[in-house]
Structure 1
Amino acid sequence: MTAEAGLFSLVLALVLALVQSTVPLVGARRGDPRLMAVGQSTAIGQLLFVTLSFAILIALFVRSDFSVELVWAHSHTAQPLIYRVTSTWGNHEGSMVLWIFILTLFGALVALFGSRLPATLQATVLAVQGWIATVFLLFVLATSNPFARLSPAPAQGRDLNPILQDLGLAIHPPLLYAGYVGFSIAFAFAVAALIEGRVDAAWARWVRPWTLLAWSFLTVGIAIGSYWAYYELGWGGWWFWDPVENASFMPWLSGTALIHSAIVMEKRSALKIWTVLLAILTFSLSLLGTFLVRSGVLTSVHAFATDPSRGVFILLILIFSIGGALGLFAFRAGSLQRGGLFAPISREGALVLNNLLLTTACGVVLTGTLYPLALEAVTGDKISVGEPFFNATFVPLMIPLLLAVPFGPFLAWKRGDLLGATQRLYAALGVTFLSILAVYAIHHDGPVLAPLAFGLGVWLIAGALADIAERAGFARAGLAKGFARLRGMPRSAWGAALGHAGVGLTVIGIVGATAWDAERIVAMRPGDTVDLAGYHLTYQGTAPQTGPNYMANVSGFTIERDGRDLGIITSERRDYIASRQQTTEAGIRTFLFTQLYVSVGDRQQAGGRAVRVYHKPLVTLIWLGSLVMFLGGALSLSDRRLRIGAPTRARRMAAAQPAE
């Protein structure tokens, strides 16, 4: 009966979503406060019912109720408890319930914390959120019922995909979905603004925190997914330009452009039409990623294996959401007032350049991802677009963008002084130049352009530090006053600097892991030694080990460098009993920012085992930089000036004067 309660909760959530999508909108058009208030109560009620349904689904997995088809197909009694919980969203149906749970959570947050929004705008935003929730609840109930029963109930389950039996599944999908779904709020604000026919600086102020929140979650979600693939798949790579990886990267690029565009709109009332369009396109790219993953059109280690009928339904959602929003945009765009003018050399101009390069890069990734699918659909020919294409097209767009980033904060609004900005960046330029020379001296026999790319990362970090130093006024006011100003600096300024510095760290990590990495593939017997990048690894042998639901062969290697013992690194080959699948668990040892990576394969006919050994210089900076970007976003969100509904000092004083 529990499974039926979960299904009934989804049905009740659908009813509330239908009410939420219509009644508040009618109230906003009539100016009826009671009808508009319905949106708040239905959004909260919808969250409660979806939470109940999601909790029931988790309970079914925890107690291994194999009378439910989804539990039988993706779980096993021998799985550790944590993986029985994460199995809930380690499949198509359960992950869609997670998606809807996060969607309704964001809708409830707008209802609870958006009370200072204009009543009609809040009601319309909640109505748009209700539309989105309605179509996804219909999708789950019509094509992806997570509570379908089996009769008779099997005695045992089929087990979760071994690759997914990892803590990464507990962290990566929820954070990634929070990013995907979080952009639905920006989308809802954009559609609501178009319905009302009013887009102004206040709108940008309201939408920016939600966009920044979604972007922060998506950033850390992509980073954790990258690291998960890096150590779990045993390939030794951190990014493969896989179509499903691209599906998460495209809304990140567009969302980054949206954040910067919203700043221009808030500060200067410019780029109104462009900002609204970006809000629509960013969530549209999130929906496109959903279609690619769940439609069956892609063959990927990241994709869900689903039947085409689900893909057709999601395609209809795409047409309904994207087509409807773009149609409304086309209808309203001509009536929107244009913003203020500004010179090309200005902070607005720098942010426009940022937007142009980011959206062009996003278009390149979109083309490389969809072109093979379109070609196969039209001609039947199959081609693959991989790393060479993206390196040749994406990287040249990123270079001018990253070069320009440090200049933006030093340019004035409306009309800036490029020479003056350059002079304030002299110290950053000097540090960058010295770092390039140092890298050339250390890696003179490596790729010629690698030191320049390394210097690009240093340039971003040095530029962020220069921005903080300029705001503190160390050069003018001295150290004591400078540090005093640092304590009073807005958190959003610190957040922006951390975001830019995080990009620099990631760039340095990418350069180190791709330009100066080393690899050896050898067949090794116990006692054999392999040398790589100054490290000496000695194979100690392989011993059997029993896990909770698998049998493993654990291979150990001792590590030495310059005669010093640096410990042991182990790699496993696991055979999962229920699913009869085999996985490789790579052995990784981290030395500051560099990693040694060992992956052990099967026995060779000539004896010994196939062993892959990688040396990955600076590779951890890739994910450390992403974490710094996330912290920058979180710090900016903690700035009171970015909180929705936080009245400014001037407004509080104005409100107090009549009372006096």
Structure 2
Amino acid sequence: MIAEIGHYALALAFFVALAQTVVPLYGAARRDPALMGFAAPAASAQFLCIAISFGALTHAFVTSDFSVSNVAENSHSLKPLLYKISGVWGNHEGSMLFWVLILALFGFAVAAFGRQLPESLKARVISIQGLIGLAFLGFILLTSNPFERLDPAPLDGRDLNPLLQDPGLAFHPPMLYVGYVGFSLAFSFAMAALIEGKVDPAWARWVRPWTLAAWTFLTAGITLGSWWAYYELGWGGWWFWDPVENASFMPWLAGTALLHSAIVVEKRDALKAWTILLAIITFSLSLMGTFLVRSGILTSVHAFAVDPERGLYILGILIVAVGGSLTLFAVRAPALKASGLFAPVSREGGLVLNNLILSVATATVFIGTLYPLFLDAMTGDKVSVGAPFFNATFVPVMIPLLVLLAIGPLLPWKRGNLRVAIEKLWVSALFTVVVAGGIFVLADDAPLAPVLGFGFAAWVAGGVVTELAERIRLFRVPLTDSLRRVFSLPGAAYGMSLAHIGIAIFICGATGETNWTRELVVNSKPGDTLSLGQYELVLESVDRTQGPNYFADTATLSVSKNGAPFAVLHPERRLYPVQQMPTTEAAIRSGIAGDLYVAIGEGSAAQGIIVRVWVKPLVPWIWVGALMMVIGGLFSLSDRRLRVGAPKRSTRRPGGPAVAEGAD
């Protein structure tokens, strides 16, 4: 009965979305306040209906209701509760329901927190959100019903893909979806602005917090996915340039450009058409990621193996969304005249260059990801485009961006002096030389790549410190005044600094892991000793253990470092009997200097097992750097100026003038 309620609520949400699309849009065209006012309750009603539907599906998974086909295909009675819950979105049907839930949540958020938006703009934004929801609700109801019943119901389920039975994969998809779907709001704001024919600094201020929230969650989602792949798949890597990984990385790159472009619209009333186009491209790339994962054209641990006909439906949505939005852009964009002028050498000029570099980087990843698919479709030829291509094309494109990261924030708005900005970076330049020279001299094997990697990281970090010193006028005013300025800086300033420092730390981690990883693969029996660098590992035993829904061969290895006891590690090779699928559970000892990573393969205690050992320097710096970018995004969101309706209402002192707080 609960499953039928969920299905009914989903169908009701479809009709609510239809009304949410038509009524406010018509009301905005007629300037009818009553019809425009329908947008907010419609968005709330749609979110409530989808939340009820999602709750019903979650109930079916938690109670192991195997009369629901989706539960029977993707769950098992012995599965731990966490994975029963994560199983709700660990399949195609459930993930699409979660997708529209997040979409409706963002529409509801605009209705609830967009009180200071102009009524016509708010109505159109919510209407476009409803149109997107209408398309995907139709897709779910017609092709991907998550509440389809089985009669008779099986005694137990087929279990969730064992690779997905992991805490990292329990939280990775929700974070990723909030990021993916969050960019729908930037798209809706862009479409509403094109319909109205008005893009101004106020519009940019309203768009930025939603875009920043989506970017922050997408950063967290990509990081969690990379971390999961690192410790769960047993291959020792954290990024493979897998097409589905790239599908989430492309909207991240475009969204980063969109964030910076919106700043120029807000500050200088310029780059209007370009910012609108970026909003369209960013959400289009998010839709493309949804298509790639569900079309059946990719083979990936991240992809859902589904009927290609479903992929055709999503492809149709993608074509209509992209084609329709670009057509509207082509008609209306010429009317978006920029009123703010700026010199090429200025903060705005630096942000424009930032956008150009990020756009080229996005195009590079796009071509490398889709070229094999196009070639296969056109000629039947199969080619593999992997890490060598992306390392040779993407990395060089990003080098100018790293140089710009330090210089750009030191340029003033409207007109600047490049020589003066560079002169301010003399400490950063000195720090860069010291770090790069130290790597070259002290490292046992220091080819050009790590010297450049750590050098650019030092340059970025030095630029952040220099920019903060300039903000607080360090050594140019009394120290007490500088300290006072430290505590009065807006959250967005700290957010930018933390994100840029996070990039520097990330570069150090990626450079160290890529260039200095050492590996040992041997067949070992209990009692054997393995040596790699400073470490000696003794395989003590291989034991058969049992988990709640799997069997495992668990190895015990005693590790010493430079002759002293260091750790005891227990890597596992699991077998999930329901799906007859093995998985690898690596044992990792992490420290600030790097990871000791051990995984085991096939074999037995009698005949020996395959033991893989990696020494991976600075890998934790990758996660720390990404985490700092996320924290930077959250800091920026805490800035009142970046929230919708941020400026406080004016206050009037008795007998005095009105005072407005929170203004730039």
* TM bucket normalised to smaller: over 0.9
Residue aligning to 1:540:
540
* Post-superposition offset of 1:176: 0.2
The one-letter amino acid paired with 1:531 is S
Does the CA contact (< 8 Å) of 1:641 and 1:648 recur in 2? no
Alignment of 1:413-452 (within 5 A): 413-452=413-452
Q: What corresponds to 2:41 in structure 1?
A: 41
2:61 equivalent in structure 1: 61
Map 1:255-334 → 2, pairs under 5 A: 255-334=255-334
Partner of 1:405: 405
Is the Cα–Cα contact under 8 Å of residues 251 and 286 in structure 2 kept in the other structure? Answer: yes
Partners of 1:194 and 1:449 lie apart in 2 by 46
Matching residue of 2:238:
238
Give the superposition deviation at 1:605: 11
Partner of 1:575: 575
**Paired AA for residue 601 in structure 1:** G
1:577 deviation in Å?
1.9
Identity in percent: 55
Distance in 2 between the 1:452 and 1:334 partners?
Answer: 43
* Deviation at residue 438 of structure 1 after TM alignment: 1.3
Q: Which amino acid aligns with 2:626?
A: S
Q: Superposed, which structure 2 residues align to 1:466-545 within 5 Å?
A: 466-545=466-545
In structure 1, how many angstroms separate the alpha carbons of the residues matched to 2:592 and 2:408? 32
Is residue 359 of structure 2 the alignment partner of residue 364 of structure 1? no
Letter in 2 for 1:315: L
Is the Cα–Cα contact under 8 Å of residues 541 and 605 in structure 2 kept in the other structure?
no
Match of 2:341 in 1: 341
Identify the residue that residue 166 of structure 2 maps to in structure 1: 166
Structure 2, unmatched stretches of 5+, are: 660-664
Q: Distance in 2 between matches of 1:564 and 1:369?
A: 47
- Per-residue CA deviation, residues 538-561 of structure 1 (Å, 9 max, x unaligned), is 111111111001111110111111
Structure 1 residue 175: Cα displacement? 0.2
Q: Per-residue CA shift, 1:85-104, capped at 9, x if unaligned?
A: 11111100000111111110
- The residue identity in structure 2 corresponding to 1:546 is Q
Partners of 1:138 and 1:447 lie apart in 2 by 55
Change in Cα spacing, 1:116 to 1:256, as seen in structure 2 (3 Å) is same
Aligned counterpart, 1:18? 18
2:193 is equivalent to residue 193 of structure 1: yes
Q: Secondary structure at the match of 1:88?
A: coil
CA contact (8 A) 1:596 1:614 kept: yes
The within-5 A match list for 1:218-233 is: 218-233=218-233
Shift of residue 447 of structure 1?
Answer: 2.5
Q: Which residue of 2 aligns with 1:351?
A: 351
| 2:85 counterpart of 1:77 | no
Cα distance in 2 for residues equivalent to 1:269 and 1:599: 55
Per-residue CA deviation, residues 437-486 of structure 1 (Å, 9 max, x unaligned), is 11112214232221111111122122112211111111201432212210
Task: Provide the rounded CA distance (Å) in 2 between the counterparts of 1:391 and 1:648.
Answer: 48
Q: Which amino acid aligns with 1:437?
A: G
Q: 1:657 to 1:6 in 2, by over 3 A?
A: farther
Structure 1 residue 14: Cα displacement: 0.7
Distance 1:368 1:449 in 2: 22
Any idea what SS the aligned residue of 2:614 has? strand
Displacement of 1:205 in angstroms is 0.7
The one-character-per-residue Cα deviations of 1:275-328 (angstroms, maximum 9, x if unpaired) are: 000001000000000011100111111110011110110011001111111110
**1:145-195, CA deviations, whole angstroms, 9 ceiling, x for partnerless residues?**
000000101111001111001011221000000000000000000000000
Counterpart amino acid of 1:360? V
Is contact 2:502–2:628 with CA below 8 Å preserved after alignment? yes
Q: CA offset at residue 135 of structure 1?
A: 0.2
1:508 to 1:614, Cα distance in 2 relative to 1, 3 A: same
Whole-angstrom CA distance in 1 between matches of 2:73 and 2:418: 61
**Structure 1 range deviating more: 559-568 or 123-132:** 559-568
Residues 523 and 604 of structure 1 are in contact (CA less than 8 Å); yes or no, is this contact kept in structure 2?
A: no
CA contact (8 A) 2:524 2:608 kept: yes
Conserved in 1, the CA contact under 8 Å of 2:67 and 2:154?
Answer: yes
Amino acid at match of 1:563: G
Which residue identity lines up with residue 298 of structure 1 in the other structure? L
Give the distance between the partners of 1:446 and 1:636, measured in 2 at CA: 37
Partner letter of residue 205 of structure 1?
Answer: R
Counting only pairs closer than 5 Å after superposition, residues 108-127 of structure 1 correspond to structure 2 as 108-127=108-127
Partners of 2:89 and 2:280 in 1: CA distance:
27
Counterpart position of 2:662: none
Structure 1 Cα separation of the partners of residues 69 and 417 of structure 2: 65
Which AA in structure 2 matches 1:17? A
| SS of residue in 2 equivalent to 1:320 | helix
Q: Deviations over 1:101-159 (max 9, x none)?
A: 11100000000000100010000000000000000100000100000000101111001
Structure 2 partner of 1:97: 97
**How far apart are the structure 1 equivalents of 2:266 and 2:375?**
42
> 1:291 touches 1:311 (CA, 8 Å); kept in 2?
yes
Counterparts of 2:233 and 2:317, CA distance in 1: 33
Per-residue Cα deviation, 1:469-523 (whole angstroms, up to 9, x for no partner): 1111112014322122101111110001111111111111100110111111111
Indicate the residue corresponding to 1:455 in structure 2.
455
Residue 591 (str. 1) matches residue 591 (str. 2) = yes
- When normalised by structure 1's length, the TM-score is 0.98
- How many angstroms apart in 2 are the aligned matches of 1:358 and 1:347? 17
Q: Report if aligned partners of 1:23, 1:36 keep a CA contact under 8 Å in 2.
A: yes
The amino acid that maps onto 2:429 is: L
Q: TM-score, normalised by structure 2?
A: 0.97
1:418 positional shift: 1.1
Q: 1: distance between equivalents of 2:453 and 2:357?
A: 18
Task: Report deviation, 1:658.
Answer: 9.2
Q: Which moved more, 1:390-399 or 1:472-481?
A: 472-481
Name the structure 2 match of 1:253. 253
- What residue identity is the alignment partner of 2:458? V
Distance in 2 (alpha carbons) for counterparts of 1:657 and 1:49: 49
Q: Which amino acid letter does the alignment assign opposite residue 564 of structure 2?
A: R
Alignment check: 8 A CA contact 2:190 2:276 kept = yes
Do the aligned partners of residues 641 and 652 (structure 1) sit closer, same or farther apart at CA in structure 2, a change above 3 Å counting?
farther
Instruction: Give the conservation status (yes or no) of the 8 Å contact 1:271–1:339.
Output: no
Residue 658 to residue 642, structure 1, CA distance change in 2 (3 Å): closer
Distance 2:441 2:597 in 1: 26
* 8 Å contact from structure 1 (residues 74, 157) kept in 2: yes
Q: Are the aligned partners of 1:257 and 1:359 in contact in 2 as well (CA < 8 Å)?
A: yes
CA distance in 2, matches of 1:339, 1:535: 64
User: 280-289 or 461-470, which moves further after superposition?
Assistant: 461-470
Q: Is the 8 A contact 1:272 1:339 kept in 2?
A: no
Equivalence for 2:211: 211
Matched-pair contact (CA < 8 Å) for 1:218–1:252: yes
Deviations 1:392-435 (A, max 9, x none): 11011000111111111100111111111112111111111111
Q: How far apart, CA to CA, are the structure 1 residues paired with 2:548 and 2:264? A: 55
Larger deviation: 504-513 or 479-488? 479-488
User: 1:65: how far off?
Assistant: 0.4
**1: CA distance between counterparts of 2:369 and 2:4?**
40
Measured in 1, the distance between the counterparts of 2:461 and 2:333 equals: 39
Report the more deviating stretch, 529-538 or 362-371. Answer: 529-538
Q: Is the 8 A contact 2:93 2:145 kept in 1?
A: yes
Secondary structure of 1:326's aligned partner: helix
Deviation at 1:381, TM superposition (A): 0.6
- 8 Å CA contact retained: 1:22, 1:127: yes
